[in-house]
Structure 1
Amino acid sequence: MKKVLLAQCPDEEGLIAKITSLCFEHGLNITRNNEFVDKQHGRFFMRTELDGNFDNLDLVAQLQQSLPAGSQLSLHGTEPTKVVLLATKEAHCLGGVLLKCFEQALNIDVLAVIANYPDLEPLTKGFGVPFHCISHEGLSRAEHDHLVAEKIAAYEPDLIGLAKYMRILSPDFVSRFEGRIINIHHSFLPAFIGAKPYHQAFERGVKIIGATAHFVNNELDEGPIIMQQVRPVTHADTAEAMAKKGRDVEKQVFCQALELACEHKLFINDNRTVVFD
C-alpha cells in the first residue's frame, strides 16, 4: 500500500532521522523524500512517499510523540482528492479541469460545480457532474456565500477550486474553508490586482502576461501563491488578444495547481507556500 506522509514542524536537529527511523522500524519503504527548512522562521517541511503495510499502524500518532510540540502531521492514500468547483460564466478553466478528469490525467473527483449563473450547466452535465445554480440576485454577499457554503459542506470536499468564480468571498466563507480554497487569477500577481487585468497590462505596455494560482485569504488576490506562468506578448497585441492568450495560461496554471494539491505537494507557510515537485 502506498501513502504520502506530510510533516510540518518547528525546526530542530534530527527531525529527518526521527521520521525515517520510525518508518524503518515498521517495515515501511521510503520511495521518495523531499524536505525544506525555512531558516528565517525556523520551520521544517517534509513530504515522504511510503510503501508497505499500514494495517494496525497509527504512524501519525507515534510520530507526534517523538516530534516537537506544534508539529502538524498527516497521512494520505492514493484515493482521488474530492473537489467542488465554483464558477460564473467563463468556461475555459472549468472545462480544462473536467476534461483532464475525463482523461484520468488528474487524481481528482469533481463532486459538483456550483455557479451563480446557469450558463455552464450544459458543459458540466456533459461530463456527468452535478451542477447547482445559486443566484446572487437580490442577496447580500454574506447571504449568498452562506447558501453556497452550505451546498459545498453537503459534499464534504477536500478542496474548493475557484474556476473563474467572479465573486469576492466573505470573511466567514474563507474562515469556514481556510487553507482549502484555490483560486486562479488572471495576471502575474502582485501586478494588476482586481478587475480587467489585461486592460491594465495593455495600458502599461507589458511584454509578458501571466496567471497565478493561489490559496484564498481575506485579502483580495493576496493569498499564498502556489504557481505562476507567463507568456510573451508584443506591442501588436490588443487587450482582447492578451486576454485570449491569457485564458490558455490560466487553464494550464489552474489545472497544475490542483494537480499539486491532489498529489499532496503543497504546504502553506504563513503567506507563502512550500511546493515540492
Structure 2
Amino acid sequence: MSTETRHVLLMDGPDSTGLIHKVTGVLYNHNLNIIRNDEYVSPDRQFFMRTEFEGELGREALLDELGRTLPGEVNLRINPKKKKNIVVFATKEHHCLGELLIRYAFDELDADILAVVSNYNTLQPLVSKFGIPFHYISHEHRTREEHEEAMLRTLAIYEPEYLVLAKYMRVLTPAFVDHFPNRIINIHHSFLPAFIGANPYRQAYERGVKIIGATAHFVNNHLDEGPIIAQDVKEVHHRQTAGDMATEGRDVEKLVLSKALNLVFNDRVFIHRNRTIIL
C-alpha cells in the first residue's frame, strides 16, 4: 500500500564509487523528491548517508530496486518522518523529566511520551499535571531481575520505540538492555569519560576541575560507556562547592538530553562500532 508522506532513507556500508548517484537515481525513478541529503565517509572508508524525501512511497518496490542497485554490504532503512513513541524512566530528580514534559506539552520534543516509569512515586504529582500515565514500580523487596521483569510487563503495554532515562538512578542488567538494543538513551551527569559512576560532582570538586559537563549516550552493557550522542560543558571555579556544581550541572544535563533526543528522533544518528556519526 502506498502512502503520501515524508520519509528518511538511512544508508551505511563500505564506501564505493557512485553511491550517492545510484541512490538519488533510484529515488528519481520512483518520482520521489529529495528534501535534504547528508553524507559522510569515515577514515576507515565507511559510508553514511541520510536522505530525506517526499512523495508517494511504494516501500517494497523502492527497497527492492535499491537492493539490486547498491552493493550487498550496504545497510538500508526507510523510516517515516514522524514522532517517535517513547517511555521515560525517572527516579526522584525532576529537572530532566520536567524539561521533557514541558517540551512535549508545547510540541517541541519530536516524540509522544506514552508513559513515565519510576521506582519511586515522588514525581507522580508532576507527571499527572500533563495527563501522562505514571507507573510506580518499586524495587524494594525485589531482586534486580524481578524488578526489571515488572518493568518489562509494563513496557509491553506501550511497545515504545525508545526508552529515555531521565536521571533514572539504577543500573540496568544486560538482559534488560538486550530487549532494546541501541534504543535506550541516558543522561550522565559528567563529561564522559571523566568521572564515571556515582557522585561525579563530588569527584569533580575533589579533583578541582574548571569545567563540568553532561553526556547523553546510548546504553550498552558497559557502565557509562555506550556511544556518545551529545555533550556540553560549563565553567566552574574554586569558590563553588560540590553542591553548587551539581546545581549548575542540572541545567547542562537537561539541555544536553533534549539535544540528543532531537538528533535521535529525527533519524540523524548512526552507530559505528562504539561511536556515533551524526548527519
User: Which TM-score band (shorter chain)?
Assistant: over 0.9
Cα deviation digits, residues 231-269 of structure 1 (max 9, x gap): 100111110000001000000011111111111111111
What is aligned with 2:96? 93
TM-score (normalised: structure 2): 0.95
1:84-123 equivalences under 5 Å are 84-123=87-126
In the alignment, the residues of structure 1 paired with residue 137 and residue 73 of structure 2 have an alpha-carbon distance, to the nearest angstrom, of 40
From 16, 19, 38, the counterpart of 2:20 = 16
What is aligned with 1:241? 244
Q: Which amino acid aligns with 1:69?
A: G
| 3-state SS of 2:223 partner | coil
Deviation at 1:69, TM superposition (A): 2.3
Deviation at 1:195, TM superposition (A): 0.4
Deviation at 1:61, TM superposition (A): 3.1
Percent same amino acid among aligned pairs?
52
1:101-180 equivalences under 5 Å are 101-180=104-183
What is the CA RMSD across the aligned residues, in angstroms? 1.3
Deviation at 1:112, TM superposition (A): 0.4
Cα deviation digits, residues 135-182 of structure 1 (max 9, x gap): 111111122112212211321111110000001000001111111000
Deviation at 1:55, TM superposition (A): 4.7
In the alignment, the residues of structure 2 paired with residue 5 and residue 187 of structure 1 have an alpha-carbon distance, to the nearest angstrom, of 33
What is aligned with 1:68? 71
Deviation at 1:56, TM superposition (A): 6.8
Cα deviation digits, residues 108-129 of structure 1 (max 9, x gap): 1000000000011111111111
Unaligned residue ranges in structure 1 (runs of 5+): none
| 3-state SS of 2:194 partner | coil
What is aligned with 1:193? 196
CA contact (8 A) 1:9 1:67 kept: no
CA contact (8 A) 1:7 1:73 kept: yes
In the alignment, the residues of structure 1 paired with residue 34 and residue 74 of structure 2 have an alpha-carbon distance, to the nearest angstrom, of 21
In the alignment, the residues of structure 2 paired with residue 55 and residue 73 of structure 1 have an alpha-carbon distance, to the nearest angstrom, of 15
In the alignment, the residues of structure 2 paired with residue 59 and residue 210 of structure 1 have an alpha-carbon distance, to the nearest angstrom, of 43
What is aligned with 1:37? 41
Deviation at 1:37, TM superposition (A): 1.3
| 3-state SS of 1:53 partner | strand
Change in Cα spacing, 1:15 to 1:148, as seen in structure 2 (3 Å) is same
CA contact (8 A) 1:159 1:182 kept: yes
Cα deviation digits, residues 173-192 of structure 1 (max 9, x gap): 11111110000000000000
In the alignment, the residues of structure 1 paired with residue 41 and residue 157 of structure 2 have an alpha-carbon distance, to the nearest angstrom, of 38
| 3-state SS of 1:46 partner | strand
Deviation at 1:79, TM superposition (A): 2.2
TM-score (normalised: structure 1): 0.96
In the alignment, the residues of structure 1 paired with residue 84 and residue 264 of structure 2 have an alpha-carbon distance, to the nearest angstrom, of 8
| 3-state SS of 1:220 partner | coil
Unaligned residue ranges in structure 2 (runs of 5+): none
59-68 vs 76-85, which moves further: 59-68
What is aligned with 1:2? 6
In the alignment, the residues of structure 1 paired with residue 61 and residue 184 of structure 2 have an alpha-carbon distance, to the nearest angstrom, of 28
In the alignment, the residues of structure 2 paired with residue 79 and residue 230 of structure 1 have an alpha-carbon distance, to the nearest angstrom, of 31
From 209, 224, 234, the counterpart of 1:206 = 209
